[in-house]
Structure 1
């Protein structure tokens, strides 16, 4: 495919890292999986409370299917002390795809996260036996005494990945949303059972783009220009073990720009003012990926990035007849909306902190591609 083309056909695009939330937020964002061009969504379990057993996960997937009947959803469970080898076997029989590990406190709804991976070796052995995937949020918690902060939390984690892989070489593992050259090189050095998801926003942002800009703040944070270059290089190469996981994570606008109204008091704002970590890309995802890959000479590998590589690793073949066609945008038709509002909240004023509205990545900007 030449980069001078005016249309691209992508077979059954798949997003292997999606947050679809609960309640009204889920009702708003779940249909955006399809409108953003994706045919499959691999859904994260960090709800409130998290999905810690097979029944909860199956019920959640069914709730998503009701909201978006044409989309294929893959459910995951939250790695926690309640998760046993027997529950892993029940989950495998229920066609649950994987288990997600969050280190304690590093991102949204991760207060019950992991501190010691060795205690889960029996669970990992059962996952290896049943061919389930282990999804790793690849950071360690910040610790000033240990010199750990958001900028080096990912490289500090990579030893855990290597150790788990050496103990369970047949266990399929995905290092989620890599942001550093160190992570790319680590995954490259591992065997064929270790892969890596890369978000479109990490292909675009560096640290300067989120510092002081809440809409671009996510976990893990975007890093340095050389780290972004490494992510772009491996996508431009088309390496088979690197693929799309958007980590699209919607938050109400009031949680991205905290105020005394949304936090309840000036004291709460001062002492607990951190904005929510997450970037929302779902409704523009496939055109965004095409726009970004074209910008750094990787458009030829769009199909590998958004479909082929991830589907091969997860053993989820493309559904026949589900190709999505992109064409070059004309005029303002590709302008990203400034906000998405739940229909039942449209009457509320902009000052109402209960108004459910989500600002997408690239809000107000033009994309180079649209879904035909």
Structure 2
């Protein structure tokens, strides 16, 4: 096969940042994808519909690809209320993002406790209004067990709100797969880095700070079992890059920022991976069809992305005025290239 056409690629977990950073990195995504779920953990979190609409305008003005559709998300806080949720739905916002306090970048406004009366009320309203609940599912326990420990919370939410679609974002632990199989309303996104790397790829030799992310990379068994879900396009998983750019200086300092900037060439990287495992025929479902079904997406401007069987290189760095960004697998060779 010398060429493939991907229809309406979707990135169901993306960080576009804001300001100059957004302007510098957005087209790595908008050139490849028809749409993306854009996370709300900005410096000032997107906690209201008005902030979400302002962010939509910033995204639209930042890219020449005007048909790209950002699926906005609202950051859940203790002050969220029914009126705000009604307003959000009226403006087309249908995804709520739950961050445990302190779990990741800009999560200081997240929740200390999940099962408070207020949060249970929000979940009930969200279920009744047809929202999707997106969760960064980690406790503050030992780093390799944080997602597993959060599994009990996923299970209780799924049981208590059986009609509420719940997304395990950036699933990284093979023990979470049981949740997908047990609860009809639990789904997951998978990143490229969690299905191709382990903790050894970050610190088994020299420390590779640009591979530091949350959830942290885990074991070969975790990687392999999640990879199997992806390349077989398990119907309850969709692709979510969790591409999260940070300036190089912030990745190399003490108390470094967590996040991997994987947006550049990511469809080419996925095609290379799926072909390696003789599963190229499943790439379309993983990067689009599954997401359309899970999230009930039917309002996209059609986009076709053509990939050609031709070598290309991941950029070694993205140069900005203030500093550089080092992309995922910088300088590596891929087997496919995008035809623009």
TM-score interval (norm. to shorter): over 0.9
Matching residue within 201, 206, 231 for 1:209 = 201
Deviations 1:235-261 (A, max 9, x none): 233211111010000000110111xxx
Matching residue within 179, 184, 207 for 1:186 = 179
Matching residue within 214, 230, 234 for 2:229 = 234
Which residue matches 2:295? 314
The offset of 1:114, in angstroms, is 1.6
Structure 1: runs of 5+ lacking an equivalent: 142-147, 259-272, 346-354
Tell me if the contact between 1:11 and 1:318 (Cα under 8 Å) persists in the aligned partners: no
Deviations 1:76-99 (A, max 9, x none): 011111111221111011101311
Which residue matches 1:336? 314
- Distance of 1:257 and 1:140 partners within structure 2: 25
SS in 1 for 2:29: helix
SS in 1 for 2:264: helix
SS in 2 for 1:152: helix
Deviations 1:124-151 (A, max 9, x none): 111111111100101111xxxxxx2111
Structure 2: runs of 5+ lacking an equivalent: none
SS in 2 for 1:77: strand
Tell me if the contact between 2:69 and 2:300 (Cα under 8 Å) persists in the aligned partners: no
- Distance of 2:110 and 2:226 partners within structure 1: 27
Which residue matches 1:222? 217
Which residue matches 2:153? 160
Which residue matches 1:266? none
- Distance of 1:74 and 1:234 partners within structure 2: 24
Which residue matches 1:264? none
Which residue matches 2:306? 325
Tell me if the contact between 2:68 and 2:301 (Cα under 8 Å) persists in the aligned partners: no
SS in 1 for 2:17: coil
Runs of 4+ in 1 over 4 A off after TM superposition: none
Tell me if the contact between 2:67 and 2:301 (Cα under 8 Å) persists in the aligned partners: no
The offset of 1:283, in angstroms, is 2.1
- Distance of 2:313 and 2:54 partners within structure 1: 36
Matching residue within 312, 334, 338 for 1:367 = 334
- Distance of 2:210 and 2:240 partners within structure 1: 19
Tell me if the contact between 1:11 and 1:324 (Cα under 8 Å) persists in the aligned partners: yes
- Distance of 1:368 and 1:178 partners within structure 2: 26
Tell me if the contact between 1:210 and 1:216 (Cα under 8 Å) persists in the aligned partners: yes
Map 1:275-290 to 2 at 5 A.
275-290=256-271
Tell me if the contact between 1:311 and 1:318 (Cα under 8 Å) persists in the aligned partners: no
- Distance of 1:289 and 1:97 partners within structure 2: 28
Matching residue within 16, 19, 23 for 2:12 = 16
Which residue matches 1:47? 42
**Greater Cα radius of gyration, structure 1 or 2:** 1
Which residue matches 2:97? 100
- Distance of 2:182 and 2:143 partners within structure 1: 24
Which residue matches 2:247? 252
- Distance of 1:9 and 1:317 partners within structure 2: 20
- Distance of 2:209 and 2:247 partners within structure 1: 12
TM-score when normalising by structure 1:
0.87
Paired residues, number:
332
SS in 2 for 1:220: coil
Tell me if the contact between 1:336 and 1:364 (Cα under 8 Å) persists in the aligned partners: yes
The offset of 1:305, in angstroms, is 0.7
- Distance of 1:97 and 1:327 partners within structure 2: 35
Which residue matches 1:135? 134
